[in-house]
Amino acid sequence: MSKITVVAKIVAKKDAVETVKSELLKLVPLTREEAGCIEYKLHQDNEEPAVFVFYETWESLVCLENHMNSDHFKNYVNAVGSLIEEKIVHKMTQL
């Protein structure tokens, strides 16, 4: 089974950058402990602080789906739902 790479771009509303950042940072240590998580890195744009990008590598699509169904991911979604301006997620397989 192929590993899955995820590149996710999250754009916070201008008045919610610090709140969104705080919620995103909560995800990192919990997610890195999940079964099948190979890499989970959060980045913040230096010129546009409202832009965050995750770079993730998962052992399989099932592991990624388990992550998206985890309590901590659901808590994040509930906490930032109205604070996000844009979210783009690319699920990719390395060639």
pLDDT digits (tens, 9 = 90+) for 2-48: 899 999 999 999 999 999 999 999 999 999 999 999 999 999 999 99
Q: Which amino acid is at 93?
A: T
Yes or no: say if 10 and 95 are a contact pair by the CB < 8 Å rule: no
Q: Does residue 1 register a pLDDT over 80?
A: no
Span 38-95, pLDDT tens digits: 999 999 999 999 999 999 999 999 999 999 999 999 999 999 999 999 999 999 998 8
Domains and CATH numbers, the chain: 4-92 (3.30.70.100)
How confident is the model at residue 2, as a pLDDT? 86
Closest CA to 56 of 41, 44, 45: 41
Residue corresponding to tokens 């998962």: 58
Q: Supply the pLDDT for residue 14.
A: 96
Between CA 38 and CA 23 the distance in angstroms is 21
* Residue 83 DSSP label: G
Q: What are phi and psi of 46, to 5 degrees?
A: -70, -30
pLDDT at 94: 87
**For residues 49 and 70, what is the distance between their CA atoms, to the nearest angstrom?**
27
The pLDDT score that the predictor gives to residue 53 is 98
